[in-house]
Amino acid sequence: MLENSLTQIRTALPVVQRFSKRLGKFLSSEVINQKTSQAELFKVETEKGSWLLKGHNAGASEKEIRAEHTIATALLENGLKLAVPFLPSDDGQPYTKFADRYWTVSRYLDDDPRYDWTRPTWSSETCASAAAGLAQLHFAGYRLLKRASNIRSEFSPNQINTFTSKFDEAVKQLEHSSGLAAAGLKEFTESTTWLREEVSTTVQQLQDADYERAPHTVLHGDYHAANTLFQGDRLIGIIDLHYVHLGSPVYDLGYATVMFGTDWLRNDHDSQGASPALPEFQAAFVMAYRKTVREIGADPAWLAAVNDSALLHKYMKLACFLIMHWAMEPTSSEEELKTRNRVYLNALGLLRQMDVP
């Protein structure tokens, strides 16, 4: 226990010292565990309050972190009170580098409960609150793009445009991987042919002009329970804009509906008639989102798009493909491998429920 505490201090203290102008004197730190994240997270107490220290994944770059901070700040300035920008370090950058990682600091929000996106322990009310927050993000993003079009250069390219090739490559790598048997994906080899076809067809349909009716806005890109902060059922913060990009709001709506409305670790996915989908949560999310955009007074084309059930269905299928792509990524952790295997199979079950052959 003492050794763990010393390790925490040896990591957190040097980072805090590089933000001393804003944070003041270091008092204590504790690790925040996130099983589905490779990032290091610490809750830190200083003389000026409570803060969240995040050690970003090894692949993170200065450009990405700076863009995430710029976008979060701009969203906050355009009415999204749920945005959580990073604090500037003593040298003025929204990050510092220590122990081969980039570290950021943001205000700590006392979120309770803390959710694991793979385990739906939330309620329909939680889903409705999260959906309303997503609609607010989209509206703030739409307003931002109208006021400051030059900020478009800060965003990553639309993920849809390159997804088919990325999915194909992931399938090929996994087909030739010795870890496939260990992962236990019994249905993998028999599903890859139609999966590739479905991915290609769905992506092509979503790229067609007929599916681009809604004005593009800022998309979160990875909106799920672990990237939203709650006090009870009330949403108090939206975090992790690593995948933020521009596109149709139905992209986020479809993705979030699937993420909040699926039991990703369900064990009886292959039982007759069983489904990992949680229709009550999915309905609560979609209805609350649509209600919020109506109340906001969104563009008629936007309203038409988010009320198009066929379009939403296609984006929900895309969400399943995205999560399957994540599940196929290599990992050296046996526990993580089991989790990804379960998530993959449940995504497969969800697709079958969506009338995919």
Highest mean pLDDT among 30-34, 196-200, 266-270 belongs to 196-200
Q: What is the pLDDT of residues 157-207, one digit of tens each?
A: 777 888 989 888 888 877 776 554 445 555 565 567 788 888 999 999 888
In angstroms, the CA 172 to CA 197 distance is: 14
pLDDT at 271 over 70: no
Residues of the chain above pLDDT 70, percent: 88
Q: What is the pLDDT of residues 187-200, one digit of tens each?
A: 565 567 788 888 99
Domain 2-69+84-107 fold:
Phosphorylase Kinase; domain 1 (3.30.200)
Is the distance from CB of 354 to CB of 317 less than 8 angstroms? yes
Domain 124-353 fold:
Aminoglycoside 3'-phosphotransferase; Chain: A, domain 2 (3.90.1200)
SS3 238: strand
Buried-state track 86-109, b at ≥16 Cβ within 10 A, e below 16: bbebeeebbbbeeeebbbbbbebb
Write down the pTM of the prediction: 0.91
pLDDT at 272 over 70: no
Q: Average pLDDT, stretch 340-351?
A: 90
Which part of the chain has CATH 3.30.200.20?
2-69+84-107
